[in-house]
């Protein structure tokens, strides 16, 4: 344990001052001028030292959350387990947390998990209770120096992620740190220190003690940041994935070929979209992971005539089981379900049903999902490949042509009917799915 910190001066660390965002500057300066100590901390310092552009800027200070709230009218307090202030500048949020002291026994549950982390402390105490040494570096804008209590600079140089302190205690205190370890391995391409690694195999199952609402954000960061395929493989390797998506893991472990290829293809596509800066959604991601158990339920009734109803029942069963592990906000669960419910509707290639499908706000996501199912060989027959081609063609047409394409009989023979339906169809077709 290092007691006095290593101070790295600007001439050594070389972080250009202009790389620190204006909002971060404002927050630090206002806190310092008001008599508090405030530093940049965490991912932003780590990323600046590695020469990357930080995703966001976090600040640590000796001001309490209430004092921060008073200093910044544009702030609000969030979190119960870990209370902190968000200072907002248009679309930019600076997260300001108060230095934390080591957790007291009283605030641990019977598994050793911290349930209340709101005891304030000093800068040094704050450094030792952060997760990894590379995330416990502080930047002081008053001196332009970096402060290192835990050996983070050496670990950065070694490209190593090392849990601060005893890995057993630290994972018990907060099992989410195991997911964070995987995330930083993927994001930075660093190795995990052997002791920090070993303890994951032992403590993976403690992920089930984490409130499901907290896991949603972590899963999003793991799978929508451009390294989903690697995160998937590492999470499975460490035995963590099964505590996030237990039913999905059941089929993967059985060596189910469709499940493996469907998920891999989806995650490769997601990574490519992130790389191309195209939008990616949590709804699509969860639709993918949970389709594996839903499809298994559907497959039990191959002769079902009521496929829509069967999908709905399977979706309900799987959603209830999954909600014990990860809570999905409604803004995610609703579009996720729509993606599934639209699947059987692609067989209506013509008429008002086809037009309505094309106009549905979730058409594009549902179509991508259909393609993925087809790619994963779930629907290997020619008829279904033709279905994908048909809908691909429809989308490539000019708006005017779509009407004839989706409604050929009406536009040629049944003129009186066409008259009635045409305005409606025109209206629908002009809205691009």
Active site residues: 56, 58, 131
Q: Quick one: which of 62, 148, 155, 174 contacts ligand ATP (CB under 6 A)?
A: 174
Nearest by Cα to 290 from 223, 349, 357, 244: 244
Query: Contact at 8 Å (CB) between 379 and 385?
Result: yes
> Contact between 131 and ligand ATP (CB under 6 A)?
yes
Q: Shortest distance, CB of residue 94 to Mg ion, whole angstroms?
A: 10
Query: Tell me, what DSSP letter sits at residue 83?
Result: -
Residue 268 has which token pair? Answer: 């490769």
> Contact between 112 and Mg ion (CB under 5 A)?
no
Nearer to Mg ion, 44 or 287 (CB): 44
Nearer to ligand ATP, 115 or 334 (CB): 115
Nearer to ligand ATP, 66 or 217 (CB): 217
> Contact between 135 and ligand ATP (CB under 6 A)?
yes
Q: Shortest distance, CB of residue 104 to ligand ATP, whole angstroms?
A: 16
Helix (H), strand (E) at residue 88: strand 84-89
Q: Shortest distance, CB of residue 1 to Mg ion, whole angstroms?
A: 25
Q: What is d(CA 170, CA 133) in angstroms, rounded to the nearest whole number?
A: 13
Q: What is d(CA 45, CA 271) in angstroms, rounded to the nearest whole number?
A: 26
Alpha helices in 276-362 (DSSP H): 282-299, 307-322, 330-342, 351-359
Q: What is d(CA 9, CA 48) in angstroms, rounded to the nearest whole number?
A: 14
Residue 189 has which token pair? Answer: 């391409």
Write out the binding residues for Mg ion, residues 56-75 only, by CB under 5 A. Answer: 58
Q: How many CB atoms lie within 10 A of CB 16?
A: 8
Query: Contact at 8 Å (CB) between 189 and 301?
Result: no
> Contact between 167 and Mg ion (CB under 5 A)?
no
Q: Residue 103 binds which entry of Mg ion, ligand ATP, none, with Cβ cut-offs from 5 to 8 Å by kind?
A: none
Which of these segments, 52-60, 72-80, 350-358, 361-369, binds ligand ATP (CB under 6 A)? 52-60
Q: What is d(CA 412, CA 422) in angstroms, rounded to the nearest whole number?
A: 12
Q: Residue 292 binds which entry of Mg ion, ligand ATP, none, with Cβ cut-offs from 5 to 8 Å by kind?
A: none
> Contact between 43 and ligand ATP (CB under 6 A)?
yes
> Contact between 117 and ligand ATP (CB under 6 A)?
no
Nearer to ligand ATP, 92 or 395 (CB): 92
Alpha helices in 160-227 (DSSP H): 167-173, 176-188, 194-203, 212-223
Q: Quick one: which of 38, 136, 282, 311 contacts ligand ATP (CB under 6 A)?
A: 136
Nearer to ligand ATP, 81 or 197 (CB): 81
Which of these segments, 36-44, 174-182, 253-261, 379-387, binds Mg ion (CB under 5 A)? 36-44
Q: Quick one: which of 23, 31, 61, 130 contacts ligand ATP (CB under 6 A)?
A: 130
Q: Is the dihedral of CA 419, 421, 422, 427 positive or negative?
A: positive
> Contact between 43 and Mg ion (CB under 5 A)?
yes
SS3 264: helix
Q: Count the residues of the shown chain that bind ligand ATP, applying the rule CB under 6 A.
A: 12
Q: What is d(CA 132, CA 177) in angstroms, rounded to the nearest whole number?
A: 9
Q: What is d(CA 63, CA 94) in angstroms, rounded to the nearest whole number?
A: 15
Which of these segments, 41-49, 117-125, 250-258, 342-350, binds Mg ion (CB under 5 A)? 41-49
The closest residue (CB) to ligand ATP is 43
Nearest by Cα to 199 from 246, 152, 249, 238: 238
> Contact between 23 and Mg ion (CB under 5 A)?
no
> Contact between 152 and Mg ion (CB under 5 A)?
no
Residue numbers at the binding site for ligand ATP (CB under 6 A): 42-43, 55-56, 58, 130-131, 135-136, 174, 176-177
């Amino acid at each position: 344990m290092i007691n006095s910190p290593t101070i790295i001066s600007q001439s050594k660390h070389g972080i250009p001052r202009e790389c620190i965002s204006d909002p971060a500057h404002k927050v630090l300066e206002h806190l310092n001028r008001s008599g508090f100590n405030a530093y940049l901390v965490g991912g932003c310092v780590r990323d600046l030292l590695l020469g990357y552009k930080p995703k966001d800027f976090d600040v640590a200070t000796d001001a309490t959350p209430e004092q921060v709230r008073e200093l910044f009218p544009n702030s609000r307090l969030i979190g119960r387990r870990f209370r902190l202030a968000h200072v907002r500048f248009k679309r930019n949020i600076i997260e300001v947390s108060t230095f934390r002291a080591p957790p007291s026994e009283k605030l641990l549950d019977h598994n050793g998990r911290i349930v209340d982390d709101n005891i304030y402390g000093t800068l040094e105490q704050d450094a030792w209770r952060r997760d990894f040494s590379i995330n416990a570096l502080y930047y002081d804008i008053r001196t332009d120096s970096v402060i290192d209590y835990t050996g983070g600079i050496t670990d950065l140089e070694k490209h190593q992620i090392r849990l601060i302190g005893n890995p057993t205690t630290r994972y018990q205190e907060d099992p989410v740190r195991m997911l964070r370890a995987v995330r930083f391995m993927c994001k930075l391409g660093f190795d995990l220190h052997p002791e920090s690694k070993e303890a994951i195999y032992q403590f993976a199952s403690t992920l089930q003690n984490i409130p499901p609402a907290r896991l949603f954000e972590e899963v999003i960061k793991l799978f929508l940041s451009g390294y989903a395929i690697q995160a998937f493989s590492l999470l499975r390797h460490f035995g963590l994935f099964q505590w996030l998506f237990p039913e999905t893991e059941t089929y993967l472990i059985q060596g189910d070929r469709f499940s493996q290829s469907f998920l891999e293809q989806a995650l490769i596509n997601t990574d490519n979209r992130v790389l191309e800066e195209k939008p990616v959604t949590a709804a699509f991601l969860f639709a993918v992971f949970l389709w594996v158990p839903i499809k298994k339920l559907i497959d039990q009734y191959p002769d079902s005539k009521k496929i829509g109803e069967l999908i709905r029942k399977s979706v309900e069963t799987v959603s209830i089981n999954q909600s014990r592990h990860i809570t999905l906000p409604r803004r995610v669960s609703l579009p996720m379900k729509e993606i599934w419910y639209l699947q059987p509707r692609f067989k209506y290639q013509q008429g008002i049903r086809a037009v309505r499908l094309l106009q549905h706000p979730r058409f594009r996501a549902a179509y991508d999902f259909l393609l993925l199912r087809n790619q994963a060989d779930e629907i290997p027959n020619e008829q279904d490949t033709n279905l994908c081609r048909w809908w691909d063609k429809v989308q490539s047409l000019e708006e005017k042509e779509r009407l004839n394409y989706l409604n050929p009989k009406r536009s040629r023979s049944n003129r009186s009917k066409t008259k009635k339906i045409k305005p409606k169809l025109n209206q629908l077709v002009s809205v691009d799915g």
